[in-house]
């Protein structure tokens, strides 16, 4: 690797590490709203196949479950930076204005999800339906309780 490549990579690494901060401060509300909705939809995309397996609508598939749990664990960290100041409006949104009045409580809900998803990944590594049922329930409880408080119908 020559010096130029190393510089380019270092620059890229820096750009990547700064990106979330810059995004959180500079984007228009409508961009933030679309971003967070996309991530939340991606969370659901991964929750649905796991729900089908837990309910018994689909046979339990260890590899699929672990993949979905792993993706969800990543996504669980990503949506919250999209709740930028002032983005309670600017595009169609179901985010309640209460979020910005009580960011601490909202963050608690976000943290609850982020505490639950690594446990789901660990259970998915065990690789049995019995192991994942409880932790999956914890995850969906974390989704629902935040929606109850902070998402309008
Ligand atoms: C910390 C609070 C919180 C948690 C935890 C949470 N959500 Fe949400 N969710 C919201 C809010 C607020 C909205 C409305 C966002 C908007 O419209 O701007 C939303 C919207 C959504 C939407 C609709 C997105 C769209 O297209 O408009 C889906 C789907 C969704 N959430 C799925 C999930 C799933 C699945 C989980 C759990 C794995 C989850 N959410 C966890 C707060 C949360």
Please indicate whether residue 33, judged by its CB atom, sits closer than 6 Å to ligand 1.
yes
How far is the CA of 94 from the CAs of 3, 34, 89, 105, 118, in angstroms?
A: 49, 12, 9, 17, 27
Mutational test site, ligand 1, from 147, 148, 149, 152, max ligand atoms within 8 Å of CB: 147
Distance CA 111, CA 127 (A): 25
Q: Is the CB of 43 under 6 A from ligand 1?
A: yes
Ligand 1 centroid to Cα of residue 78, in Å, is 12
pLDDT digits (tens, 9 = 90+) for 28-55: 999 999 999 999 999 999 999 999 999 9
> Ligand 1 centre and the CA of 42: distance in Å?
10
Percent of the chain with pLDDT over 90: 82
State in Å: Cα 70 to ligand 1 middle: 18
Query: Cβ distance 102 to 121 under 8 Å?
Result: no
Cα of 19 vs centre of ligand 1, distance in Å, is 22
Q: Which of 134, 147, 135, 130 is nearest to 69 (CA)?
A: 135
User: Which residues, in sequence order, are CB contacts of 80 under 8 Å at separation 6+?
Assistant: 36, 106, 107, 110
Per-residue pLDDT at 1 = 54
Token pair for residue 21? 């901060």
Q: What is the mean pLDDT of the chain?
A: 90
What are the tens digits of pLDDT across the range 16-33? Answer: 444 555 555 589 999 999
With 0-12 / 13-18 / 19 or more C-beta atoms within 10 angstroms meaning exposed / middle / buried, residue 29 is middle
Please write the tens of the pLDDT for every residue from 57-92: 999 999 999 999 999 999 999 999 999 999 999 999
State whether the beta carbon of 95 lies less than 6 angstroms from ligand 1.
yes
Q: Do 120 and 80 meet the contact criterion of CB atoms below 8 Å apart? A: no
């Amino acid at each position: 690797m020559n010096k130029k490549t190393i510089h380019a990579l270092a620059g890229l690494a820096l750009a990547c590490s700064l990106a979330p901060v810059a995004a959180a401060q500079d984007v228009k509300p409508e961009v933030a709203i679309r971003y967070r909705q996309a991530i939340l939809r991606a969370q659901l995309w991964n929750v649905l196949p796991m729900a089908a397996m837990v309910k018994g609508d689909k046979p339990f598939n260890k590899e699929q479950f672990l993949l979905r749990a792993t993706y969800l664990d990543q996504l669980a960290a990503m949506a919250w930076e999209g709740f930028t100041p002032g983005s309670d409006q600017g595009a169609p949104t179901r985010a309640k204005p209460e979020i910005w009045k009580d960011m601490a409580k909202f963050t608690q809900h976000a943290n609850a999800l982020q505490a639950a998803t690594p446990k789901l990944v660990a259970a998915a590594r065990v690789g049995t339906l019995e192991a994942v049922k409880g932790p999956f329930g914890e995850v969906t409880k974390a989704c629902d309780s935040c929606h109850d408080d902070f998402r309008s119908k």
